[in-house]
Homo-oligomer: A and B are copies of this chain.
Amino acid sequence: MTESAAHVRVMEETAAYWRVLFDNPPFNIVDATIFEGLQDLLARMDASPSLRVVVFESGNPEFYLAHFDLTGKTGNIMTAVGPSGLPILMDTFVRLTRSPVVSIAKIRGCVRGVSSEFVLACDMRFASRENTRLGQPEVGVGVNPGGGAAERYGYVNRALPDAELDGFVDVLARRIASFDRRPIAAVKKLVNDVALPSADRLLDALIAFQTALTWPEAQQRIQALLKRGLQRDGEVESGWPALLGTLLDET
């Protein structure tokens, strides 16, 4: 098994209903292997005419997907182009949204930055009421969100008691899996025609993000975060947005 296939594991419950498990220890940091796994998954989804619905979940109850790797392990996701003609980062999200297959994020744990943008690219989001932490903390790190962040009421379709989350999503996924593929595709197309931002707008955000990463003050904040323990220390990884207001203070 390749590293990316280990980090993005596909389980075919039925021909119509797949589950995908994120498993990139210790914190499910979003690095190049996660995007490779998602790109492989999208190719398999395109080649599976019986598929109706994919549920994305995490093997780590504390971290659904943590955030963008800040130590440089992001490979070519901003420099290479995917099948949509957009850079891989954007291509992955846009193809997921445009897919005729329904995507559901079943959320437990931390979901920040690019991970928040991933769940927003899914068609639906269901979250553990006791154990979900969502955030777009980019500005506090000195950059802007780059992958299609959104602000809206209804970010999560429903927050459920943790003990009910798995059962609820499974029943919903099996119900969707019983439907025909063509009306699902027709509805997703009609919604996307109205709601999916244009490539121009998406690239505005991505280019602004890439530019922001080059600013010395952003690099200073990123280095300060890593020095405080980000991507090494579990407590810091869980609670780092609370540090953002004091990031440049002397310690």
Question: Residues on A close to B: CB < 8 A?
Answer: 138-145, 151-154, 174-175, 178-180, 182-184, 186-187, 189-191, 193-194, 197, 201, 204-205, 208, 212, 215, 217-218, 221, 244-248
In the complex where A154-B153, A248-B178 touch, is A212 in contact with B183 (Cβ < 8 A)?
yes
Distance (whole angstroms) from the CB of A185 to the closest CB of chain B: 9
Residue of B nearest to A145 (CB): B187
| A204 touching B193, Cβ below 8 Å | yes
Can you tell how many copies of this chain the complex includes? 3
CA distance A141 to B184 in the complex (A): 11
Residues of B within 8 A of A175 (CB): 140, 244-245
| B143 touching A183, Cβ below 8 Å | yes
CA distance A8 to B187 in the complex (A): 31
| A245 touching B174, Cβ below 8 Å | yes
In the complex where A139-B183, A144-B186 touch, is A197 in contact with B197 (Cβ < 8 A)?
no
CA distance A151 to B191 in the complex (A): 9
Residues of B within 8 A of A205 (CB): 190
Q: Which of B144, B154, B183, B184 contacts A218 (CB 8 A)?
A: B183
CA distance A218 to B204 in the complex (A): 41
Closest 3 CB pairs of A and B: A175-B245, A144-B186, A144-B187
| A208 touching B180, Cβ below 8 Å | no
Task: Give 15 A-B contacts (CB < 8 Å), ordered by A residue.
Answer: A139-B183, A139-B184, A140-B179, A144-B183, A153-B154, A174-B245, A175-B245, A178-B247, A179-B244, A180-B221, A182-B217, A186-B212, A190-B204, A190-B208, A194-B201
Distance (whole angstroms) from the CB of A221 to the closest CB of chain B: 8
Distance (whole angstroms) from the CB of A184 to the closest CB of chain B: 6
Residues of B within 8 A of A204 (CB): 190, 193
CA distance A182 to B221 in the complex (A): 13
**Which of A174, A180, A215, A248 has the most chain B CB atoms closer than 10 A to its own CB?**
A180
CA distance A201 to B197 in the complex (A): 15
Distance (whole angstroms) from the CB of A80 to the closest CB of chain B: 23
Q: With contacts A174-B245, A179-B244 known, what are 14 further pairs, Cβ within 8 A?
A: A139-B179, A142-B179, A142-B183, A143-B183, A143-B186, A153-B153, A178-B245, A178-B246, A180-B218, A183-B218, A186-B212, A190-B204, A190-B205, A193-B204
